[in-house]
Amino acid sequence: MSKTWSVDEHLEDILRSVRPLDPIELNLLDAQGCILVDDVVVPTALPPFDNSSMDGYAVRTADVDGASEEFPAVLSVIGDIAAGSQGLPTVASGEAARIMTGAPLPPGAEAVVPVEWTDGGTGGGPADAMPAHSDAPEGASGQVRVHRPVLPRQHVRAKGSDVKPGTVALKAGTVLGPAQVGLLAAIGRGAVTVRPRPRVVVLSTGSELVTPGEPLGPGQIHDANSFVLTAAARAAGAIPYRVGAVADDADTLRATIEDQLIRADLVITSGGVSVGAYDVVKEALSRVEAFRGGEEDDREDAVGDAVEFRRLAMQPGKPQGFGLIGPDRTPILTLPGNPVSAYVSFELFVRPALRTLMGQESVRRRTVRARLAVDSPLTSPEGKRQFLRGDYTPPGEEGELGTVRAVGGAGSHLIAALAQANALIDVPEKTDRLAPGEEVTVVPLD
C-alpha cells in the first residue's frame, strides 16, 4: 500500500513546485489587488510646491503682526489664487492674495491667514466662510481686514512634506489596495509592474453531470463543482475559466486539458481521482508521456512530468493529485468529486497555490482559537485530520475567544450545510473526540 500523505506534506510539495508568475506592467486601476514587484521610488516631491492648507489670504507675517479684531491689519487684495493657478502674483508689503486650499503659495507671501480670522474683504465682522468666486468676484480686489497674526509658514503645506523625492513610497510585495493605488496616482504613476492575476481553468468530470438550469435524467445530478471552484478561484483573486463538466472518457478529458493549457496558469479538476473503476482523471493524467513538453528538463525541483495521485490522511478530501503538465509545466491540482470535499481541498491546497502564483507573501489563511459550542461531544476519526464545517462567531469587543458551532456533521456530501458555514474547524489527526467548550482551531473563510 502506497504512502499516506499528511495535509502539510501535500501542501508543501505543491508550494515547492509553484513559482510566482512573471511580472507585467498594468494600468494603475487594472493592478488593483495585485502585488508590486519592485520598490516604487518617489520621483518628485509631494506636494510638489508649497501650498495653502486653508481658504484665506496669503500674507507677509510682518504685515499682520499684532493684528486683532479691535485693531485689524488692513491689506490690499491683489488677486485670487485658485488651485491650479499659474502666473502667480507677488505679494508685496501691505498686500494679500485671496487663496484657496491647495493653491500654490505666491512669491512674497510667508503664511496664510484663514478667512475666519478676517472680515473676508466685506468690511464687516469676522467672516464665516469664503464666498464663491462667481458670487463675489469683487473679493479678488479691494481690502481685507486681518484680525489675528500668523507665524511664518503657518497654514502652509511645505513642498515634500508628504513624501520626498527618492524615498520608497511602496515596497516590493505590497498588495495594491485603494490607498496604495491612491498613493501611486498621487506620485504620478499611471502604470505599475505587478504579478498578474493567475488564470485558472476549472473542469469537473463525470458523465452524470448536467449544467444547472437543465433538467436531470435518471442517474444524473447537477454540476456543482465547476461552479463552487470557479467562484472560489475568483474570490481568491484569480481569473477563472469555467470549462464545465467533461464526460468520463480519458481521451476526451486529456484533449480538453491540452486545449485549455494555452490559457491556464493553473488547472483544477474535480472528480475521477478516487480508487474507482471509472476514475477518468487518474486514467487520463497518470500516463507520463501524455504531457511531456518535449523539451529537456533541467529544473532541480522537477516533480515528474505527470500527475501524482495520493491518499491523504484527511477528511473530507482523501484522494488528491498534483503535478506539472504540458510544455510550460503548468500546475494541475486534481480534487475529489464531492462538492464539499472539492471546496475544502480548494481552501487547503488551491488557494495557497494561487496566492503563490500572485506573489503573496502570506499564502495560508489565518487561524483563530475558539470555543466549541456544541451540546454533546464530537467524534473525529483518529489518524485523519478532519475539517468540519463551522459557524464561527468572533469575540466581542473585549477580546476573549470567539465560539464555533459545527454545522451539518461530518458527511462530506452535505453541500447544504457547507452553505451555512463561514469557517472550517481544523481537528488534528490525533484527536478523536472534542468536548463541548473545548478550545479548537478555526479557519475563518472571510
**Closer of 226 and 260 to a second copy (Cβ):** 226
CA distance 128 to 98: 15
Measured from the CB of residue 328, what is the shortest distance to a second copy in angstroms?
Answer: 26
CA distance 427 to 446: 19
**Closer of 70 and 132 to a second copy (Cβ):** 132
Quick one: the chain helix, strand, coil %, rounded to 5?
20, 30, 50
**Closer of 149 and 339 to a second copy (Cβ):** 339
**Closer of 282 and 384 to a second copy (Cβ):** 282
Measured from the CB of residue 12, what is the shortest distance to a second copy in angstroms?
Answer: 22
Q: Is 240 helix (H, G, I), strand (E, B) or coil?
A: strand
Q: Which residue bears the cell 468530470?
A: 205
CA distance 170 to 149: 40
Residues 423, 442 contacting (CB under 8 angstroms): yes
Distance in angstroms between the alpha carbons of the first and the last residue of the chain: 38
**Closer of 329 and 427 to a second copy (Cβ):** 427
Measured from the CB of residue 329, what is the shortest distance to a second copy in angstroms?
Answer: 25
Measured from the CB of residue 255, what is the shortest distance to a second copy in angstroms?
Answer: 16
**Closer of 197 and 242 to a second copy (Cβ):** 242
Kindly provide the residue ranges of all beta strands, DSSP E only, lying in 248-296, ordered along the sequence: 266-270
**Closer of 18 and 250 to a second copy (Cβ):** 250
The string of DSSP letters for 89-139 reads PP--TTEEEEE-TTPBPPTT--EEEEGGGB-TTSSSS--SSPPPTTT-GGG
Measured from the CB of residue 64, what is the shortest distance to a second copy in angstroms?
Answer: 20
Measured from the CB of residue 189, what is the shortest distance to a second copy in angstroms?
Answer: 6
Measured from the CB of residue 182, what is the shortest distance to a second copy in angstroms?
Answer: 3
Identify the CA nearest to 245 among candidates 234, 256, 231.
256
Helix (H) or strand (E) holding 434: strand 433-434
